Every structure is written in C-alpha cells, then in structure tokens.
C-alpha cells in the first residue's frame, strides 16, 4: 500500500464545524492563543468568500498538480483542500475545471499556498478559494507528492482532519482536538467585544487597560496619565 496517501483519519465533526463557522477567523485565532493564522499572502479571491471544514492536506512540488487531482478524487463532502504549493506563483495549480469538480463533489473550499487561474469564472461559481495570487500559466502533472500527511501552509502546520476556517481576513487552522474547548471562549469573546463596542458608541472610548500597559512599558511613570 502506498504510504504517501493517507486515506483514513479522524475529521473534526460536522457539528463542531457548523458551530465554528459562526465565528470570524480572527476570533478563533485570538482564542487559540493568537496562533494558527496563515501568512497574509494567502487571501480570498473575493472578500465575500468564507469556508469552514476539516482539512484534507496535499503536498505538491511547485508547479505540479498531479496529487491535487488525486486528492479531489479522495475527498469527502465538506472537506477543505489545504495544498502546500510552496508559495509558487509561476504557474496556476488549479482553475475552473478542477474547482468545478471540487464543487460538484461537495467540498467546502480550497486553500492553496500557490497560484490559481480562471478567477472570473470561479467568482461566478461562488466557490470559496484562498490562494497567494493568480497566474495564467498551466501546471504540469508529472511529479508525485503526498496526501493526508501534515503540511506547512502559509507558515502553519496543518494536519488532515484539523478545522480550517477562512474569511475576508485570512485563514486560520485549529487542531481537531482543541475545537470543542475553544468554542465557549469564542462565544464569550464575541459577547465581550459587542459590549465594548456598545460602550464606545455611548462615548466611552478610553481603554481601561491602556494606562497600566504604558507604565509597564516605561512610557508613563507612576502617577502619570495621558
């Protein structure tokens, strides 16, 4: 059996995906300890695009998409393809044909540390795609890679089955085992931020923590204030 392809792994549950999808990527990144956010080079093709689901990881050589075709064939509905394309922008690894296959198979979206093409058609499809940019060049289909193994995407380690959530701010991944425990923290953060915004709109724009932080940083002396 080919060990380069891992077919069986535990995915974050659909129920947890549905709950997590209610939150912004920024909220999950914050409650996860300000970690798990991909480098900002990986961004939505269109700001309205959003996705959430378990990762199906793909490791490819720059400019070659052979293993992405294999991953699409193996993917389950709801999966998010997370592709380590090594940040290469000299050729597109995916376009309309492959994205159409992903959409037809019920995938939640694609996150790729590489380039894509046919962006106007993908926009019309309304299929969520996050990439480092675009290039009209087509890829090769010759080089072996790996599916289902841990990859580095946008500077973050991603395992198949981990939760991937992405929106206009970018992409964040949360380890499958941590998702359930972080959801209550995410709810509280949203409540706290909503309350703070309400205070600001009533005229209370001063941050209660600012003076102490400035003193700790040595900007203000004890007894001084802004």
What are the binding residues for substrate? 95-98, 117
Question: Which tokens go with 164?
Answer: 């991937």
Per the document, the length of the chain is 226
Q: Are 165 and 27 in contact (CB under 8 A)?
A: no
First to last CA, the chain: 67
Give the residue ranges of the annotated binding site for Mg(2+): 118
Q: How many Å apart are CA 51 and CA 38, to the nearest integer?
A: 14
Q: Are 132 and 112 in contact (CB under 8 A)?
A: yes
Q: Are 64 and 86 in contact (CB under 8 A)?
A: no
- DSSP structure class, residue 12: P
Q: How many Å apart are CA 145 and CA 32, to the nearest integer?
A: 30
Give the residue ranges of the annotated binding site: 95-98, 117-118
């Amino acid at each position: 059996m080919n060990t380069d392809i891992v077919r069986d792994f535990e995915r974050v549950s659909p129920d947890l995906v549905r709950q997590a999808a209610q939150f912004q990527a920024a909220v999950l990144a914050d409650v996860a300890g300000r970690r798990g956010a991909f480098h900002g080079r990986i961004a939505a093709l269109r700001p309205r695009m959003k996705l959430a689901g378990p990762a199906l990881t793909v490791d490819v050589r720059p400019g070659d998409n052979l293993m992405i075709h294999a991953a699409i064939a193996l993917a389950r509905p709801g999966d998010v393809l997370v592709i380590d394309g090594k940040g290469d922008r000299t050729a597109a690894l995916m376009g309309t044909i492959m994205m159409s296959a992903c959409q037809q198979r019920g995938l939640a979206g694609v996150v790729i540390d590489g380039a894509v093409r046919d962006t106007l058609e993908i926009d019309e499809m309304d299929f969520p795609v996050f990439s480092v940019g675009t290039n009209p060049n087509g890829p090769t289909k010759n080089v072996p890679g790996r599916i289902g193994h841990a990859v580095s995407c946008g500077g973050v380690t991603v395992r198949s089955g981990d939760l991937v959530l992405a929106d206009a701010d970018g992409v964040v991944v949360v380890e499958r085992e941590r998702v359930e425990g972080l959801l209550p923290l995410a709810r509280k953060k949203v409540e706290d931020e909503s309350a703070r915004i309400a205070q600001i709109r009533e005229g209370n724009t001063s941050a209660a923590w600012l003076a102490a932080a400035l003193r700790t940083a040595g900007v203000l002396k004890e007894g001084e204030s802004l």
